[in-house]
Structure formats: structure tokens, C-alpha cells
Amino acid sequence: MPLKASFKAPALALAHACADGICAACLFGRAAPALTTYELFWYVCLYTLLAFPAQALVGLLCDLLPGGMRRLLLTAAMFLLPAVWLLPLPPLARVIAAGLLNSLFHTLGGADRLGESGGKLTGLGLFVAPGAIGLAVGSMFPASGALFSGLIVLTAIVYLFTQDSPIGTRPGSAVNAGLPAKIIFPALILLSVACRSMGGSAVKFGWKTGLVLPLVFAACVALGKFAGGALSDRFGMARVCLPAAAAAAILIPLCAGIPALALAGQFCVNIAMPATLMLLYRFLPEHPGFCFGLAAGVLYPGTLAGQYLGTLASSGVTALLVLIFALNAAMLALALYQKSKNSENKTDKNKKLKGEAA
């Protein structure tokens, strides 16, 4: 007997934590003991390339498949990830398999959540939030890969037997814009994501040591993403995301040495994550997997640029980081303005049609 569609969102959210936890445990628990520090560095780079930038291509290909095939591929990825943890694979094979399966899971899971969102962000925020926790736990406690492997199999079974949402496969309010706008504004959204990643990676949190604080850090990241989705549904994306982005522009670069304020900054900067995904989807409603993959794909270049900035011992770096976070807010504001302008045009057109009909 099929399970209710409402089971799907929490199942995929838990699977997200498990997928990232398994992959982190594979890197630092299974592959690392057989590698030198230098080799591990390059293996982590290889994994990251496969797991993040590759998502755009994976998403584009998956969007060409019918819904039933995408569902089966997502379920297969969830069943195969434990094998990457359990089987006695060579380190290179383990890392490649983990990266590719992680990319497939994220792209298809994100496409599923975007497609059934009906324009709402709460479920999307619930899906993207737990990954940070899974990544932190898997990195710090590699033996947790066994627990994550068991949990993801259970979530795969639940997902396989849930009904599809009756909402449909389109965003609640697709942006009706010409080709130039469908290139320019998604590019602004992606630059906003890259700026967030760059700014967050450039800052050094010297207090993030031990066992507790890194987990608290990951929890703040996760809570920010979930709260961003839920609060945006209640108050609107602009009212929630823009003040949060402005707060992050102060808290992260200027208060990195104060744990409470830095954690608040992580919460604030991640609030916009569900909104940026939904904005991309509203501009490109025929390509949910590609939208999710594009957003993930720009994270890695932003992270590399941020890490380079973090190595510069210059008094101007802090000011530059404030500017980067300000650009994040500005580009997000432009995309939100275009979305709201499109909504107003639709409202005016509907009123005019109703007047003519009367």
C-alpha cells in the first residue's frame, strides 16, 4: 500500500544527511588510512569536483528523463551509497563512486523537491538543511558511515513507496520573461550563491575546535536553511532574505572571532539558500535538476576563491569580504525585484482580463 505523499519530504531530508555522512565517512574513514596527507588532499578535490560542479551536467541529463525513471535513479543512488561504504574498494574507486552517487542523489532529490513544491519553500528548506549535519558527523566520526548506511536504506524504501504530490511539476509562479532576462537574472542568482560561498570560505573561525562547536556550527547552517524556507513562505522571500543577507555582511566578516555572533552570521547567510533555488526554478521551470545542479556547481569555485582570499594577510581583506556579502545581497535583491515585477504584471493582466469579461 502506497504511503502518503507527506512522508516523502522528511524521508529525503534524512536521506540527504545520510548521503553526505556516508561520503564524508568514505573519505576520512575508508580511504584516508591508505593515503598520505598529500594524496588525501587531491582525493578530496576529486570528490568535490564530482559531487558539486558535476551536478549541473547531471541535472541537465536527468531533466531529459521521464519522472518515473528519475524516481528509480534516485532510489538506486540511495541503495548504492551504502555499498560504497561497505565494499572493500580501492581508494580511488571509492572516492569516484561516492562523488558520482552524491551528485546523482543531490540533483534528483533537489529536482524532486523543486518539482513538487508548488512554489513553497518549506519542503525545499527541509531537504537542503540536514546535509551540513551529515557532513560534519561523517567527517568527525567516520564510523558513523555504518549508521548512515542503514538509515539511508530505510529512507529509500519509504521514498520508493510514497505517492507523488498532487501539486504538480511546476513552480507556483513561473517568471514570464524574455530570453535575455532568463540569462541575466539566473546569472545574478548564481553570482549571489558564489559570493555567499566565497565570503564564508575566506573567514577563519579559530574557535571552531573540539567536538561540540563544529557540530553547533553545522546545526546553525542547517537551521538557517530550514528557517529560510519556512519564514519565506510566511513573510515573503524579500522580507526574510534581504535583512538576513545584510546581517550576514556584518556578522561574518567583522565578528568571526566571537562564537555567538559568528554562529548567528552562519544562520543568517544560509537563510537565502531555499530562496535562491526557487528563484532559479521560477526562471527555468522546465529544468529543475539543472537549476539545483547549477546552484551547487558554483559553490566550489566560490569556495576556492574564498580560501585563496583567506590566505592573504591584508587589512583590506575584511573590507573586501564586507563588499562581497553586500554584492550577495544586491544581486539577490535584483532577482527578487524582477520576480515581484513579473508578479505585478501578471496581476494587472488578470485584472484587465476580468474587466473585459465583465
Task: Give the whole-angstrom CA distance, residue 294 versus residue 316.
Answer: 31
Reduce the secondary structure of 265-293 to three states and give it as a string: HHHHHCCCHHHHHHHHHHHCCCCHHHHHH
Third-level CATH fold of 176-348: Growth Hormone; Chain: A; (1.20.1250)
Give the Å distances, CA to CA, from 248 to 73, 196, 242, 261, 276.
Answer: 37, 9, 10, 10, 16
Give the Å distances, CA to CA, from 136 to 20, 139, 158, 323.
Answer: 9, 5, 25, 29
Task: Give the whole-angstrom CA distance, residue 185 versus residue 7.
Answer: 34
| Three-state SS at 3 | strand
- From the list 44, 321, 20, the residue with the least C-alpha distance to 200 is 321
Task: Give the whole-angstrom CA distance, residue 291 versus residue 238.
Answer: 20
Q: What is the pLDDT of residue 345?
A: 52
Task: Give the whole-angstrom CA distance, residue 127 versus residue 15.
Answer: 9
Task: Give the whole-angstrom CA distance, residue 34 versus residue 40.
Answer: 9
DSSP for 72-109, please give it. Answer: HHHHHHHHHHHHHHHS---HHHHHHHHHHHHHHHHHHH
What is the per-residue pLDDT across 65-85, written as a single tens digit (0 to 9) for each? 998 899 999 999 999 999 999
Task: Give the whole-angstrom CA distance, residue 252 versus residue 248.
Answer: 6
Q: What is the pLDDT of residue 176?
A: 60
Q: Where are the domains of the chain?
A: 1-166, 176-348
Task: Give the whole-angstrom CA distance, residue 106 versus residue 80.
Answer: 14
- pLDDT beneath 70, residues of the chain: 1, 165-179, 313-317, 338-358
- With beta carbons less than 8 A apart as the criterion, state whether 280 and 186 touch: yes
Using a 10 angstrom Cβ sphere, with 0-12 exposed, 13-18 middle and 19 or more buried, the burial of residue 60 is middle
**How many whole angstroms from its chain centre is CA 81?**
19
- With beta carbons less than 8 A apart as the criterion, state whether 263 and 200 touch: no
Task: Give the whole-angstrom CA distance, residue 200 versus residue 325.
Answer: 9
Which residue is it, cell 537563510? Answer: 271
Cell numbers representing residue 160 in the block: 520508493
Q: What is the pLDDT of residue 173?
A: 55
Q: What is the pLDDT of residue 71?
A: 92
- With beta carbons less than 8 A apart as the criterion, state whether 283 and 177 touch: yes
Q: pLDDT exceeding 70 applies to what percent of the chain?
A: 87
